[in-house]
């Protein structure tokens, strides 16, 4: 028998190769996390990468609900915020009592805080699914947000609760006073959480979550209780959201009611959806991109949130599968050497698209200048070009850029469709 | 005490009717498309700001007509070119589309009118006390708000229940295919209902603007309350939305005027929790302080205990 299998089956690969094949992606991610601060060592870059790490954990925990179990939540910041408060109070308690707990263990306190309240609130909210669940999550978020301002002894009212991360037990003499040390702490937790959450998707429970998302009734027929599956997914998700909150508390050394805000809940939804909720790595892309955009766009323009919202609407309308979905869509092209053709078509379409976007951005910026910033006069610069927002020439130019760009961009659509049709005969046009 | 009750009742009914102006459109749109319009309160805000701008140019009364028409037109365009396209992707993208729209409208309003409240005044024609209850003057403008809301409610009710248009709309909500087979343009009906719904929200915005604060966060403050109203009343039920609007309006206005805390109630027992604890916070908080969260408590309780809402027939 063994001879037979040895002949017909493929030659057994050495264990090390199997391990690399299975964990290679994770090793690459770990290596990237280690190398990144060596490449981008500035203070701004370190802070941004720390924020990315936090929002990756948060977005992945959110996608456990949205993408994996099909539960749309408008109040995920509740568990993030509670995690932050538990971490801050944990740090203060450890520092005050001189307990032998090092800082790297603190996100666990946040995770437990998130978990406890996810059990409590999840028990109520996961009884329902769909729109009702979304509404309950919204109601609970408003409740917790308002309670945070009333229960001052725990939440510290408007100003929040502060802490000092350097006052904890030091391991190997690391005080976590510097940003680079905090970055590595966050990166390690981020990697661990990513791995655990990916592992969760491979467990039977993770698979049942998908089943409940796709068809709750059928899952029930097979003998699983959809409510229980939703509840368990909610608890696990709350735990990781709490860990993310704990990491944020370590990073900012403060927890306040802004952690619970609707903006926070909205941002994680936006990041997850833009990245692509249908794929595990979608929220990772989304969270990293959104954190990056928040910093970069807010440097460029004061009304970056408008562009951010428009990007979100564009994604919902034209690419609801998210960035990850668009990337995966191109994967079949790899093997057939068709990628270069499609890429060439994209390269033709890109300049007119950019011209169109520049035109729209110019209209928006000039409106902003004339309306809300009227006191500062009409003079402004747009991408280093000085112009006056009250001159008709400027508006004509903006209109010409926007409309002309759109017309040219529209002309390139058949080129892209043709490239796709050539790449994949089954597809008539660009999906 | 009687004075407090009368004034709070008047204010509560007036606030409730204002809520109903918006909730009626929201619940109609929900029955039609099966999606809660997150941006509904944003159209209310647009109404307030359009009303403010037009009343500066032309005066308040033209604004009361033009602003809702303009906002209704925008709403119809959003349905035609936005929601209808997103519809094929499913319910979650539809909901997210309205979510993103709410986000963008708030930003656009901030971009044009700034973050500070704008100076939207009560028209001088209505700037006098209508009557005096005990020592409190009741402003004529609030009476005007109340009467306008009631009038719109009556007209809406008559149109929906007594006219052929109402018949087609009601039929299209439940049996769109059948109505289409009978030769009616169902997508046009949907677009019109969306437009009228957003126009009603804009009317609410124009008349509420001078009385409340016209600011870029007004949609964010009111939006969640609207959801509470339509969910508590029962999604898709106009009568339920009406009752829930009044209920929430009255609960909130009465709670705000009652300055009672647990400490007051149990004052005779001479018991106070030790300071600096959560129990102490709970002990000292007054009913007026928790007034803003009462609707959400109601929402969660209703969804858990009676998922169809108080008067609704369909599960969410």
- B57-85 per-position pLDDT tens digit: 888 888 889 999 999 999 999 998 888 88
pLDDT of residue B316: 45
Q: Which of A131, A155, A270, A310 to mutate to test the interface with B (most CBs of B within 10 A)?
A: A131
- B45, with CB counted inside 10 A (0-12, 13-18, 19+), is buried
Q: Which of residues 237-296 of B touch A (CB under 8 A)?
A: 276-278, 280-282, 285, 289-290, 292-293, 296
Residue B46 falls within a domain, yes or no? Answer: yes
Query: With an 8 Å Cβ cutoff, are A150 and B101 in contact?
Result: no
B99:A269 CB<8 A: yes
Chain B: residue whose CA lies nearest to A262: B220
CB atoms A309 and B103 under 8 Å: yes
Percent with pLDDT over 70 in chain B = 91
Q: What is the pLDDT along chain A (431 residues), one digit of tens a residue?
A: 344 444 444 555 667 777 777 777 888 888 888 888 888 878 788 888 999 999 999 999 999 998 888 888 888 999 999 999 999 999 888 888 878 888 888 899 999 999 999 999 988 888 877 777 888 888 888 888 888 888 777 787 778 888 877 777 777 767 777 788 889 899 999 999 999 999 999 999 999 999 988 888 898 898 889 889 999 999 999 999 999 999 999 998 888 888 888 888 888 998 998 898 888 888 999 999 988 888 888 777 778 888 888 888 988 888 888 888 888 888 777 766 677 778 888 888 888 888 888 888 888 888 887 777 777 777 777 777 777 777 788 888 888 888 888 888 888 888 888 887 777 655 544 44
Domains, chain A:
41-317 (1.10.3470.10), 330-423 (no CATH)
Say yes or no to pLDDT of B201 above 80: yes
Across the interface, whether the CB atoms of B92 and A72 are under 8 A apart is answered: yes
- Give the Cβ contact number of residue B284 at 10 Å: 17
Q: Is residue B91 part of a domain?
A: yes
Measured CA to CA in angstroms, residue A356 lies from A166, A400, A406 at distances of 50, 9, 5
Nearest to A303 among B91, B111, B278 (CB): B111
* Cα of B199 to nearest chain A Cα, Å: 22
Chain B nearest-CA distance from A245, in A, is: 22
Q: What is the number of domains present in chain B?
A: 1
Interface test with A, best of B96, B302, B309 (most A CBs within 10 A): B96
Tell me the nearest-neighbour CA distance from B48 into chain A, angstroms.
Answer: 17
Give A-chain residues touching B113 at CB under 8 angstroms. 371-372
Please report whether residue B275 resides in a domain. Answer: no
Task: Please indicate if any CB of chain B lies within 8 Å of the CB of A154.
Answer: yes
Q: Using DSSP, state whether B275 is helix, strand or coil.
A: coil
| CA distances from residue A150 to A72, A140, A155, B266 in whole angstroms, order as listed | 28, 15, 8, 20
As a whole number, mean pLDDT of residues B223-242 equals: 84
A136 touches chain B (CB under 8 A): yes
Residue A1: per-residue pLDDT: 39
Residues in CB range of B105: below 8 A, 6 or more apart: B39, B42, B43, B45, B46, B219
Q: Which residues of A touch B278 (CB under 8 A)?
A: 151, 153-154
CB-based contact, A134 to chain B, within 8 Å: yes
Residues of A in contact with B276 (CB under 8 A): 153
Could you tell me if A363 lies within 8 Å of chain B, comparing CB atoms? no
* Predicted pLDDT of residue A239: 95
* Average pLDDT value for residue range B256-273: 70
Cross-chain residue pair B112–A367, CB shorter than 8 Å: yes
Give the containing element (helix H, strand E) for B239. Answer: helix B238-257
pTM of the model: 0.85
Give the count of alpha carbons within 13 A of B234, CB side only.
14
Closest Cβ opposite residue A306 in set B101, B107, B227: B107
Contacting residues of B for A313, CB less than 8 Å apart: 82, 97, 100-101, 104
Q: Which of residues 209 through 248 in chain B touch A, CB cutoff 8 A? A: 220, 224, 227-228, 231, 235
Q: Residue holding tokens 């991360």?
A: A165
Q: How many CB pairs under 8 A join A and B?
A: 132
Residue in B86, B280, B307 nearest the CB of A132: B307
Contact A367 B113 (CB under 8 A): no
For residue B79, what are the domain limits? 2-223
State whether B97 and A266 contact (CB < 8 Å).
no
- Single out the residue of A411, A430, A415 nearest to residue A333, CA to CA: A430
Residues of A in Cβ contact (< 8 Å) with B231: 132, 135
Residue B217 lies in a domain: yes
Distance from the Cα of A268 to chain B's closest Cα (Å) equals 13
Tell me if B120 is assigned to some domain.
yes
What confidence score (pLDDT) does residue A351 get? 86
What is the model's pLDDT at position A2?
A: 43
What is the distance between the alpha carbons of residues A247 and A55, in angstroms, rounded to a whole number? 10
The mean predicted confidence, pLDDT, of chain B is: 83
Does A139 lie at the interface with B, CB-CB under 8 angstroms?
yes
B304 within some domain: no
- Report d(CA B24, CA A234) in Å as an integer: 33
pLDDT at B15 over 50: yes
Q: What is the model's pLDDT at position B143?
A: 86
B155 found inside a domain: yes
How many Å apart are CA B228 and CA B247, to the nearest integer? 11
Determine, yes or no, domain membership for B12. Answer: yes
CB contact under 8 A, B289 and A150: yes
Alpha carbon distances (Å) from A20 to A31, A35, A201: 14, 19, 20
**Residue A183, token pair as written in the block:** 């970055």
Contacts of A127 (CB under 8 A, 6+ apart): A227, B304
């Amino acid at each position: 028998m063994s001879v037979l299998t040895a002949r017909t089956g493929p030659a057994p690969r050495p264990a090390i190769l199997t391990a690399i094949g299975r964990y290679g992606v994770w090793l690459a991610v770990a290596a990237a996390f280690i190398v990144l601060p060596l490449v981008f060592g500035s203070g701004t870059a370190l802070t941004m990468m720390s924020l990315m790490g936090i929002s990756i954990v948060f977005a992945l925990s959110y996608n456990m609900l949205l993408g994996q179990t099909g539960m749309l939540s408008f109040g995920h910041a509740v568990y993030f915020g509670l995690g932050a408060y538990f971490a801050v109070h944990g740090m203060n308690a450890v520092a005050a009592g001189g307990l032998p707990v090092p800082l790297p263990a603190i996100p666990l306190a946040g995770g437990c805080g998130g978990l406890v309240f996810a059990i409590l609130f999840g028990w109520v909210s996961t009884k329902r699914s769909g729109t009702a669940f979304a509404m309950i999550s919204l109601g609970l978020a408003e409740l917790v947000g308002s309670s945070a301002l009333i229960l001052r002894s725990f939440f510290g009212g408007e100003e929040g609760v502060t802490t000092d991360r350097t006052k904890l037990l030091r391991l190997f003499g690391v005080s976590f006073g510097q940003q680079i040390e905090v970055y590595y702490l966050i990166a390690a937790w981020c990697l661990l959480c990513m791995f655990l959450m990916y592992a969760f998707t491979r467990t039977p429970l993770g698979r049942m979550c998908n089943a409940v998302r796709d068809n709750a009734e059928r899952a029930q027929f097979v003998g699983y209780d959809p409510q229980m599956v939703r509840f368990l997914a909610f608890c696990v998700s709350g735990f990781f959201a709490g860990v993310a909150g704990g990491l944020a508390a370590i990073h900012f050394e403060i927890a306040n009611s802004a952690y619970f805000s609707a903006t926070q809940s909205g941002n994680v939804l936006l990041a997850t959806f833009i990245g692509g909720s249908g794929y595990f790595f979608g929220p990772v892309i989304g969270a990293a991109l959104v954190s990056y955009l928040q910093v970069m766009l807010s440097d460029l323009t004061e009304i970056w949130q408008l562009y951010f919202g428009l990007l979100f609407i564009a994604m919902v309308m034209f690419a609801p599968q998210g960035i990850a979905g668009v990337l995966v869509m191109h994967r079949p092209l790899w093997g057939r050497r068709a990628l270069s053709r499609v890429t060439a078509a994209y390269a033709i379409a890109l300049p007119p698209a950019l011209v169109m976007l520049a035109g729209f951005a110019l209209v928006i910026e000039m409106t902003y200048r004339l309306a809300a910033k009227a006191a500062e006069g009409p003079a402004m610069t747009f991408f280093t070009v000085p112009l006056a927002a009250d001159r008709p020439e400027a508006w004509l130019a903006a209109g010409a850029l926007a409309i002309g760009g759109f017309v040219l961009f529209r002309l390139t659509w058949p080129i892209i469709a043709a490239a796709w049709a050539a790449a994949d005969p089954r597809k008539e046009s660009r999906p | 005490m009687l004075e407090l009750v009368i004034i709070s009742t008047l204010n509560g009914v007036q606030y409730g009717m204002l809520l109903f102006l918006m909730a009626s459109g929201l619940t109609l749109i929900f029955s039609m498309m099966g999606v809660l319009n997150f941006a509904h309160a944003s159209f209310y805000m647009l109404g307030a700001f359009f009303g403010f701008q037009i009343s500066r140019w032309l005066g308040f009364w033209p604004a009361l007509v033009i602003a809702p028409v303009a906002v209704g037109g925008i709403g119809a365009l959003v349905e035609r070119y936005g929601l209808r396209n997103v519809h094929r992707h499913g319910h979650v993208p539809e909901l997210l589309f309205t979510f993103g729209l709410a986000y963008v409208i708030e930003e656009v309003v901030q971009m044009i009118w700034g973050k500070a409240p704008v100076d939207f005044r009560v028209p001088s024609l209505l700037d006098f006390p209508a009557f005096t209850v005990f020592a409190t003057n009741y402003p004529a403008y609030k009476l005007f708000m109340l009467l306008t809301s009631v009038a719109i409610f009556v007209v809406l009710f008559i149109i929906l229940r007594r006219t052929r248009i109402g018949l087609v709309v009601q039929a299209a909500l439940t049996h769109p295919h059948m109505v289409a087979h009978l030769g009616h343009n169902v997508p046009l009906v949907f677009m019109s209902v969306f437009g009228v719904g957003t126009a009603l929200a804009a009317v609410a915005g124009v008349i509420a603007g001078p009385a409340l604060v016209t600011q870029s966060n007004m949609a964010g403050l009111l939006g969640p309350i609207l959801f509470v109203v339509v969910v508590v009343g029962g999604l898709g039920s106009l009568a339920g939305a009406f009752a829930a609007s009044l209920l929430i309006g009255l609960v909130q206005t009465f709670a705000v005027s009652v300055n009672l805390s647990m400490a007051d109630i149990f004052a005779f027992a001479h018991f106070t929790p030790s300071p600096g604890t959560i129990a102490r916070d709970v002990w000292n908080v007054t009913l007026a302080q928790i007034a803003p969260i009462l609707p959400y408590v109601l929402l969660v309780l209703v969804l858990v205990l009676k998922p169809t809402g108080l008067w609704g027939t369909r599960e969410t």
